[in-house]
């Protein structure tokens, strides 16, 4: 019989333990990513986010925190940020006409400029459409950050900076991606106002 109480207990403990592992193993990479985002925004750049499935939802969530605000005690201007995952007409036309593996690269090509940052979010690090977007960004002189899972997959070396959550559990990786996204957003908005 399924023990719900034990399941809740172990899930919350595992989530907490993974976040402590993130602190131990990812602090330097999170700091480097924050430096890159702060420099981009201070220089007039924008932030673009891409991911699939749950990571697509994370892109939308994090981009919105940058655009609107995260910390209610910080009064600031909007930070230009866009999730490349939200326009259903764009995604379906791109998937139909140029292939699903090219949808994010096409958007980077159309929207991206030198000085911007592309953030790819993937638990596996092996999504072809994100890898193609990273390649397009590199071709255009756009810096890249990966929020990834355990080994980082192929994306780890394709990104300028990779934050690899030290877990193989997809749920825990995604929870930590949101935590890291919130940390990055709060650093940017606080440093822009200091």
Q: Which domain holds residue 141?
A: 4-192
* Helix/strand/coil for 148: strand
pLDDT digits (tens, 9 = 90+) for 87-141: 999 999 999 999 999 999 999 999 999 999 999 999 999 999 999 999 999 999 9
> CB neighbours of 45 closer than 8 A, spacing ≥ 6?
80, 113, 115, 116, 117
- pLDDT of residue 5 exceeding 90, the answer is yes
Q: How confident is the model at residue 152 (pLDDT cuts 50, 70, 90)?
A: very high
Q: pLDDT for 24-50, tens place per residue?
A: 999 999 999 999 999 999 999 999 999
pLDDT in tens, 45-68: 999 999 999 999 999 999 999 999
Residue 193 has pLDDT above 80, yes or no: yes
Tokens for 123? 């638990």
Residue 194 has what pLDDT? 76
How many domains are contained in the chain?
Answer: 1
The domain that holds 59 is classified in CATH as 3.40.50.10490
What is the structure's pLDDT at 40? 98
Query: Average pLDDT, stretch 159-180?
Result: 97
Q: What angle do CA 135, 136, 142 make, to 5 degrees?
A: 95
Which pLDDT belongs to residue 135?
98
Report the chain's mean pLDDT, rounded to a whole number.
97
- For residues 167 and 18, the answer to whether their CB atoms sit within 8 Å is yes
Does the pLDDT value for residue 82 go beyond 80?
yes
Q: Give the closest residue to 105 by CA, choosing from 128, 87, 124, 82.
A: 128
Stated pTM of the model: 0.96
Helix axes 103-111, 128-139, angle to 10 degrees: 30
């Amino acid at each position: 019989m399924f023990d719900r109480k034990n399941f809740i207990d172990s899930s919350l403990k595992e989530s907490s333990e993974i976040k402590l592992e993130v602190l131990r193993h990812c602090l330097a990479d999170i700091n480097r990513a924050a430096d890159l985002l702060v420099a981009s925004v201070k220089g007039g750049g924008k932030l673009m986010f891409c991911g699939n499935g749950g990571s697509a939802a994370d892109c939308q969530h994090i981009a919105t925190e940058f655009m609107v605000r995260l910390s209610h005690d910080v009064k600031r201007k909007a930070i230009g940020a866009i999730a490349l995952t939200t326009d259903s007409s764009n995604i379906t036309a791109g998937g139909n006409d140029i292939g699903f593996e090219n949808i994010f690269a096409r958007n980077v090509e159309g929207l991206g400029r030198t000085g911007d940052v592309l953030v790819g979010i993937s638990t596996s690090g092996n999504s072809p459409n994100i890898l193609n977007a990273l390649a397009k960004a590199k071709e255009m002189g756009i810096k890249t950050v990966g929020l990834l899972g355990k080994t980082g997959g192929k994306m780890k070396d394709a990104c300028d900076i990779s934050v690899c959550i030290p877990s193989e559990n997809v749920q825990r990786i995604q929870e930590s991606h949101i935590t890291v996204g919130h940390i990055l957003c709060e650093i940017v908005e606080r440093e822009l106002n200091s």
